[in-house]
Amino acid sequence: MKFKFIDISDTTISFNFSKNIDKDINSKIVEISSAINKNFENLNINSCFPTYNSLVIDYDPLKSERLILKEKISELIKNFEFKNSHLNELFQIDVSYGGSNGEDLSQVSKIINISEKEIIKIHSSTIYHVYMIGFSPGFPYLGGLDRRLICPRLKSPRQEVPAGSVGIADQQTGIYPFKSSGGWRLIGKTGEKLFDNTLNPPSIIKPGMKLKFNEV
């Protein structure tokens, strides 16, 4: 895999693999990230995590030299044997759509000119790819939203989005694990607890997984 270095800060470097969002590339990045995190002590780094198209490494400059760390990670990437270990992991989550659980569903229906019932059917029948976890602890960025459901974000973000809310924004869908602000259009809600800091890792949903919503 080809990549380029990006110096983010004096403690963080990034290995960028593409300018585009690509599921296959992301799956490879996730697998490399997982392998690095299992051996982060040997590599003398603090953490490693995947984004849409990059691998981000955080380290202590007092313990590791940037140039040496770059060389170590570069060598690992070049010689990495991919096993596609995440391809069969499917996480299913129950969602109540519309009404007080998804207050934007009716508005989304008007914007994209598809009935609420059909939106629910399309959204819950799709298998999504978990690109990364971010924004807030446990928040999954899911790719694969049906093009018929593409809808812009709210013009003004809500100050408070209930925990468990399922939203769509542009070409993505995702779930808010905690109460927070947010500008995604809310179409449903789940009671699933997505983040538990007593677990390791604490995020129930992991990058590279497949995810499916089930209407309840």
- State the Cα–Cα distance between residues 198 and 19, nearest whole angstrom: 36
Determine the pLDDT at residue 38.
81
Q: Side chain identity at 180, as an amino acid letter?
A: S
Determine the pLDDT at residue 39.
76
Mean pLDDT of 191-209: 89
Determine the pLDDT at residue 126.
96
pLDDT at 84 over 90: no
pLDDT (tens digit, 9 = 90+) per residue, 146-188? 999 999 999 999 999 999 999 999 999 999 999 999 999 999 9
* Predicted TM-score (pTM) above 0.75: yes
Contact assessment for residue 25 and residue 131, using Cβ atoms and an 8 Å cutoff:
no
Please report the beta strands in the chain, taking only residues with DSSP state E, as ranges in sequence order.
Answer: 4-9, 12-16, 47-50, 54-58, 90-97, 127-133, 140-143, 158-161, 165-169, 172-175, 180-182, 185-189, 210-215
| Interior angle at CA 138, CA 105 and CA 214, nearest 5 | 45
CA-based torsion, 74, 75, 76, 77: positive or negative:
positive
Determine the pLDDT at residue 44.
81
Q: Which residues of 85-124 are buried (b: 16+ CB within 10 A; e: fewer)?
A: ebeeeebebebbbbeebbbbbeebbeeeebebeebbeebb
- My answer on whether omega of the bond before 201 falls inside 30° of 0, hence cis, is yes
All structural domains of the chain = 4-78 (3.30.1360.40), 90-215 (2.40.100.10)
- CB count, 10 Å around CB of 14? 17
pLDDT at 69 over 70: yes
Spell out the alpha helix ranges (H) of the chain. Answer: 23-38, 40-43, 66-78, 105-112, 116-125
Determine the pLDDT at residue 87.
60
Determine the pLDDT at residue 135.
86
